Amino acid sequence: MIVLIIYAHPNPKSFNAAILKEVERGLYEAGHTYAVIDLYKDNFDPVLVYNDKIRRSDLKNHPETAHYRELVRQADHLIFIYPVWWYGVPAILKGFFDRVFVSGFAYRYDGMVPKGLLKGKSAWVVYTIDSPGWYIRLVRRSAEWVVIRDAILKFCGIRKVKRFMFAGVKRSSLKRRQRWLAYLYHQVRFGL
């Protein structure tokens, strides 16, 4: 299986960085082929530009994002790793969706009906959030999950989407974080 990790956290000493290491270790030990897009290391420009010179319909061929589109095209499985900020993905990851998951590549419209073009792929969404899990589910109605699952990934044809949410990170103990990392490693190593 070819796996593409899309990673979005600016701090190399963060818990998200530890998650990335465990995911990579699990993929390597399972014998999967994988690549990592580290949006911050790449200095990815999240600003979507289309104007008189660049039309929105041209974005599927834009040379600045061609490498990313090719990595997505080749992958069987995508793993997104990021923190939730303001109940959404970091701006750099939102810009990645805006600039890479474009019309003609990730989806198209047949008349008024959208058609996902990334069919046959699966995805895992791994994210950290400081709020407690009960608050996210009951008060926020898992809005951060619904948007990425339905409005982005399923819209683009990725139907098999699994969530790994690590909630209450800010107040979590080292022991709890180690348990989360061990669980995620096991899922990657034996469940992918």
- Check: CB of residue 6 under 8 Å from CB of residue 80: yes
Choose among 122, 124, 120: nearest CA to 160.
122
DSSP letter, residue 155: T
Angstrom distance (rounded) from CA 93 to CA 44: 9
pLDDT tens per residue across span 9-29 = 999 999 999 999 999 999 999
Angstrom distance (rounded) from CA 36 to CA 34: 7
Q: What is the CATH number of domain 2-191?
A: 3.40.50.360
Half-sphere exposure in the Cβ direction for 163 (13 Å, CA):
17
pLDDT in tens, the chain (192 residues): 999 999 999 999 999 999 999 999 999 999 999 999 999 999 999 999 888 888 888 899 999 999 999 999 999 999 999 999 998 999 999 999 999 999 999 999 999 999 999 999 999 999 999 886 766 777 777 888 999 999 999 999 999 999 999 999 999 999 999 999 999 999 999 988
pTM comes to 0.94
| Domain spans, the chain | 2-191
